[in-house]
Structure 1
Amino acid sequence: MSNADSYDDTYTESQVIMTSVKIIAPFILTYGMFMSLHGADTPGGSFQGGAIIGVTVLMLAFAFGIEPTRRWLKNSFVVGLVTGGVAIFIGTGFATMALGGNFLEYDAIADTFGIAHYWGMELIEVGGVALIVAGVVITLFFATAAGFTPDRQIGGEDSLESEVSDDD
């Protein structure tokens, strides 16, 4: 049995869903970015904004298919989101330490550059948290959508055939 025979993809196109997603997705993405950009100012914030941005990608995958979306959104891009968010978060913390403050003590930025400590918080919220959350939501979705098949077992198909025989 080939891989195509063992894995049935039940995706079917729906013109209503595809058209709706094409219309709605830009607005949802804009709202997610709005939430992220107001993360330090208002309730809601970057965590929720990052989740909305990640869910926009999920919505595209449901409308246009998971595999086409996975091919469109490369793994390196998703890993870059999470890695970039973590790097911004840690880099901001170390920058405040280099400026004479404690880890993520934004007053060190204000004292050194003469700008409000608000910008340090914005860097963490928008650049760190929103990117991390969006990347993790997308990653978890693709990992869950991949599911479990015998090909993904440790050892592949050969170990599966050796464990199961007709004599059992």
Structure 2
Amino acid sequence: MSRTDTYDDTYTESQVIMTSVRIIAPFTLTYGMFMSLHGADTPGGSFQGGAIIGVTVLMLAFAFGIEPTRRWLKNSFVVGLVTAGVAIFIGTGLATIALGGNFLEYDAFVETFGIAHYWGMEAIEVGGVALIVAGVVITLFFATAAGFTPDGRGEESYQTEVTEDD
């Protein structure tokens, strides 16, 4: 691979795209949250809502640059989303076991607390699935944007190594 074969991946600002994303992003984020909050009630659900929320972050990254978005949305926050989703999912399941039911048997909430089993389902849908999906979509995007090479190093080191051999 010669130096001319490498590509220039610098960020180029487009006022049309940036303005469009500024207008559209609040609506897509709201729609994703709506889908997540109505996950157990209506068609669609938390998986789709979490995907829409994650894709809204990708849209911001495409409009305003991947690295600025990565700095704005810290890695620890994204990991926290996924961790919180898994903790809520497992915590709800273990709570049903502690209350004498099976894993994710929501009727244990009805018998103990007098609340509808619906709220156990909502905890899983909204608190678990939506957070996990949004976090994984964002994580996969940032990992792909960083670039992968066969030896496990980032794109920059691979290009440097190839161009030195020329």
Q: TM-score, normalised by structure 2?
A: 0.87
1:73 aligns with 2:73: yes
Amino acid at match of 1:34: F
Residue 110 of structure 2: aligned partner = 110
Matches within 5 A, 1:20-35: 20-35=20-35
Name the CA distance, whole Å, in 2 between partners of 1:10 and 1:165: 24
* Gap change, CA 1:105 and 1:14, over 3 Å in 2: same
Amino acid at match of 2:8: D
Q: TM-score, normalised by structure 1?
A: 0.86
Matches within 5 A, 1:1-168: 8-148=8-148, 152-153=152-153
Name the CA distance, whole Å, in 1 between partners of 2:129 and 2:34: 14
Q: How many residue pairs were aligned?
A: 156
Identity of matched residues, % = 88
Kindly state the Cα deviation for residue 148 of structure 1 after the two structures are TM-superposed. Answer: 2.7
Residue 3 of structure 1: aligned partner = none
Name the CA distance, whole Å, in 2 between partners of 1:152 and 1:62: 25
Kindly state the Cα deviation for residue 10 of structure 1 after the two structures are TM-superposed. Answer: 2.9
Amino acid at match of 2:15: Q
Kindly state the Cα deviation for residue 165 of structure 1 after the two structures are TM-superposed. Answer: 6.5
- List runs of 5+ in structure 1 lacking aligned partners: 1-5
Name the CA distance, whole Å, in 1 between partners of 2:53 and 2:27: 11
Kindly state the Cα deviation for residue 43 of structure 1 after the two structures are TM-superposed. Answer: 1.0
* Gap change, CA 1:67 and 1:149, over 3 Å in 2: farther
Name the CA distance, whole Å, in 2 between partners of 1:76 and 1:137: 15
Name the CA distance, whole Å, in 1 between partners of 2:7 and 2:85: 35
Name the CA distance, whole Å, in 2 between partners of 1:91 and 1:102: 13
Name the CA distance, whole Å, in 2 between partners of 1:64 and 1:126: 29
Name the CA distance, whole Å, in 1 between partners of 2:123 and 2:142: 28
Kindly state the Cα deviation for residue 81 of structure 1 after the two structures are TM-superposed. Answer: 0.4
Cα-Cα RMSD: 2.4
Q: SS in structure 2 opposite 1:89? A: helix
